[in-house]
Amino acid sequence: MNTIRNFNSTGWIELITGCMFAGKTEEFIKRIHRHKFAKNKTIVFKPLIDTRYSEKHIISHSGAKLECINVENSHKILDYYHKTVKKEPVKVVGIDEVQFLDEGIVDVIEMLANQGVIVIVNGLDKDFRSNPFKNVDKLLSSAEVVDKLLAVCFQCGADANRTQRIVNGVPAKSDEPTILISGNEKYEARCRKCYIRPE
């Protein structure tokens, strides 16, 4: 885990996934910085919808920071990539919170990897109902490298792999919207035992 693979300069996909508070963004930022230090041309994107901490940066819960480009959809990523590659070759593309982008992003990621780009992606594997999250479910089967991280259960301290949405101090009902951008004031990491499936 957490090693750079050498695929003879071909592209590949690295997926960092898990529940909230598992350290996905921290790991994502670390991998992108490693490529930047190696002077690999790198461009990083995040969905326009995610403005929790900053509009122009990806920021982890612990405060690690990475400059990025906000995009509203997968086509914008492709457009920006093509404009950049005309000036200089792009070795690495990073995509944060891939579950918040449209489903066309999976084809874009595949296309980039097929063109020799290392694509590093992070996203939640399950929504608050514990159902597979869009885009991440498909990338789990197509990525060459998958790291599924665990958090610490907010209730008992065990390993957690589920995200509990909290509304007014109690678990959310199942009819709430799937996407609600927030931090720890609305969500908790929970283990299998402590997680309460929404009804």
Q: Which residues carry out catalysis?
A: 97
Residue 180, CA distances (Å) to 53, 107, 152 in order: 15, 25, 21
Contact assessment for residue 161 and residue 150, using Cβ atoms and an 8 Å cutoff: yes
Matching residue, tokens 């990475």: 66
3-state SS, residue 133: coil
- The single-letter DSSP state of residue 156 is T
**Nearest CA among 10, 18, 29 for reference residue 153:** 18
Residue 153, CA distances (Å) to 136, 156, 158, 194 in order: 22, 6, 5, 8
Nearest-angstrom CA–CA distance, 139 and 194? 28
Contacts of residue 169, Cβ cutoff 8 Å, sequence gap at least 6 = none
Burial of 3 (0-12, 13-18, 19+ CB in 10 A): exposed
